[in-house]
A and B are shown apart, each in its own frame.
Chain A
Amino acid sequence: MMEKTIDVMRQAKRNTAIDADDHGLSLPTGEFAQPEYHEQRERAFELRNVSVHYGDTPAVKDVTMDIFRNNITALIGPSGCGKSTLLRCMNRMNDLIPSATVEGTLRYHGEDIYGPKVDPVQVRKIIGMVFQKPNPFPKSIYDNVAFGPRTLGMKGNEREIVKDALVRAGLWDEVKDRLDDNAYGMSGGQQQRLCIARCIAVEPDVILMDEPCSALDPISTARIEDLMLELKERYSIVIVTHNMQQAARVSDMTGFLMVQLTEDEKSRWGELVEYDETAKIFTNPADARTEDYIAGKVG
């Protein structure tokens, strides 16, 4: 056990280009210091100096990170550090909040998500989202899943699409006999898996998950984590979570965000402190703040 941990640490140390002694910002902004292993993976998102403001209040500042395809990327950090805000930038859900402004660039497979010709509706077709609280539509289980394909005018047999999505979300066996029942009669965990089924029914490339398990019991949580590990074969997943064990269990990469305060404590915002392989973040973080947070000393 010990040997293995040390091995992981050594591996991480060999692979990272960042000096582990440097306890300042581990990710210099602007020109991004690329650890070698990043080159081998296909990038889904490239975030460069992304800042989000709500009105005059900053929410996150200067986030620079690459998110890889077919990976599960976890964003962890204390409340109010802007994890959800950052996540909601990735499929332009922040557009729904009139006062929100996004600076910097977010590229998805090379294309600027906030480019002038990009339609947010098209972005959301490719980059789906699952929310903190299960939010099924007040319709039947079948109609919940069929809503997306129907609305987007997807071709193919609707029943097949619905069945396929429910199977992949691991829900089919539980609901195949009551597809016409109202979705509100399901348990919380089932509702959340229904929301995941609804999301994958429109065949996105990326699934953004905003604390998908925070309202669920441990067994439902475990089912959704298993599901995520299966889904990662086909989709890229970005998950915001309060639960560090969850991040450690499922994710490949982990980003740690932290609340920053100005000296007079009048203004606060979130910053990406460290972003690396999950194994490294949890065993040998480069930044002391990450270590304190992981060890439960703060937050």
Chain B
Amino acid sequence: MSVNQDEHRLAGRARIAVAGARAATGDVFGRSSRRERLGNVVFPALLLLALSVALAGLLAIIVWAVVEGGSRANVDLITNGTSRLDAASAGYREAILGSLYVIGGVILLIVPLGVGAAIYLEEYADKTRWWNRLIELNIQNLAGVPSIVFGILGLAFVVRGPLSLGFVAAAGAITVAMLVLPTVIIAAREAIRAVPPSIREGSLALGATQWQTIRRQVLPAAFSGILTGTILAVARAFGEAAPLLLVGATTFVTFDPSLFENRFTTLPVQIFNYSKQPQEEFQVLAAGGALVMITLLVVVNSFAIGLRNKFERRW
């Protein structure tokens, strides 16, 4: 009995001694193992590395464009027309106008068509029907079709064939719109689906019709998401060159474009054309064009992001 009590007393003293030592060294909770500490440092570092690779790419392009084309970064670059002869005074006026025509046409086409298709698929289509599921699958596949294929489609159906518009900016707009439409539909559907069903029920329970509910509740609530999808689509359309080469964006157009007459050119196509020239000055001009494109993209995206944040909603 007394031995037992002694053991107890000793164990108690040992505990007090350990606690005292810990308190003295400030190590009350003990330390996690080396492995744990290492993992806690290494993985965030790897993730940061992945991020920095992406950012480095972007930074490299911007730095390159500024260093190479910075000497041409002035108003002349935007306002002067194209020239094959005089690189020093040549600019991008026709190309910028051509891009604006094409992009304008693309926006006019993809917003109503994309949002309309998305509303139908999300709000009206009966998903138990096989044809609706088939349509969904096809839209997703369509988003992955290479752009050159759409170029051929545009050549066959818009430039020639049923529409026979010829090699004009409108043909380019229609072709690129077909290319980016699936992206817009998918993004708009996501945005519409993100509107909680309780909002729809609340509206319908007040005696609003389905269309009134969509028009006054669902679409305003989905607006920011739809806008995001449209921005991404427009940014992609802005940078597309391949399909446009097939439908009329050709070398060295020296006149301002119009929607339904004459050939046209766009910024990426013109950058490509300049960079093909052997003279050093044209390389500088091409870099200047890249600078113009990046600037335009940043301006458009900032504007759209500002608009989106203004309409952003929280549930």
- Residue positions of A touching B, CB distance < 8 A: 91, 93, 96, 98, 121-122, 124-126, 128-129, 131, 133, 135-138, 147-148, 151-152, 184, 195, 198-199, 202
Report the minimum CB–CB distance from B105 to chain A (whole Å). Answer: 33
B208 is an interface residue with CB less than 8 A from chain A: yes
Residues of B with C-beta under 8 A to A202: 206-207
B302 is an interface residue with CB less than 8 A from chain A: no
Find out whether the CB atom of B206 lies under 8 angstroms from the CB atom of A124. Answer: yes
Q: How many A-B residue pairs have CB under 8 A?
A: 72
Q: How far is the CA of A184 from the CA of B312 in the complex (A)?
A: 13
Q: How far is the CA of A147 from the CA of B216 in the complex (A)?
A: 9
Report the minimum CB–CB distance from A113 to chain B (whole Å). Answer: 14
B83 is an interface residue with CB less than 8 A from chain A: no
Report the minimum CB–CB distance from A33 to chain B (whole Å). Answer: 33
Q: How far is the CA of A34 from the CA of B67 in the complex (A)?
A: 92
Report the minimum CB–CB distance from A11 to chain B (whole Å). Answer: 37
Find out whether the CB atom of A138 lies under 8 angstroms from the CB atom of B207. Answer: no
Find out whether the CB atom of A151 lies under 8 angstroms from the CB atom of B205. Answer: no
Q: How far is the CA of A110 from the CA of B242 in the complex (A)?
A: 68
Chain B, residues 201-226, CB within 8 Å of chain A (1/0): the string is 11111111100100011000100000
Cβ-neighbour of B206 out of A136, A184, A199 (below 8 A):
A199
B2 is an interface residue with CB less than 8 A from chain A: no
Find out whether the CB atom of B204 lies under 8 angstroms from the CB atom of A124. Answer: yes
Find out whether the CB atom of B206 lies under 8 angstroms from the CB atom of A135. Answer: no
Residues of B with C-beta under 8 A to A148: 206-208
Q: How far is the CA of A184 from the CA of B196 in the complex (A)?
A: 14
Find out whether the CB atom of B202 lies under 8 angstroms from the CB atom of A133. Answer: no
**With contacts A98-B128, A138-B315 known, is A124 near B217, CB below 8 A?**
no
Instruction: Write the chain A residue with the least CB distance to B196.
Output: A135
Q: How far is the CA of A151 from the CA of B208 in the complex (A)?
A: 6
Q: How far is the CA of A128 from the CA of B204 in the complex (A)?
A: 9
Chain B interface size, as a band, is 20 to 34
Q: How far is the CA of A298 from the CA of B112 in the complex (A)?
A: 56
Find out whether the CB atom of B199 lies under 8 angstroms from the CB atom of A137. Answer: yes
Instruction: Write the chain B residue with the least CB distance to A195.
Output: B202
Residues of A with C-beta under 8 A to B202: 131, 135-137, 195, 198
Q: How far is the CA of A224 from the CA of B170 in the complex (A)?
A: 60
Selected A-B contacts with CB under 8 Å, 13 pairs: A98-B126, A121-B207, A126-B207, A135-B199, A138-B221, A138-B315, A147-B208, A147-B217, A148-B206, A148-B208, A151-B216, A199-B205, A202-B206
A-contacting residues, B234-252, CB 8 Å: none
**With contacts A135-B196, A184-B314 known, is A147 near B203, CB below 8 A?**
yes
Q: How far is the CA of A291 from the CA of B128 in the complex (A)?
A: 43
Q: How far is the CA of A199 from the CA of B217 in the complex (A)?
A: 16
**With contacts A133-B198, A138-B199 known, is A152 near B313, CB below 8 A?**
no
A-contacting residues, B105-119, CB 8 Å: none
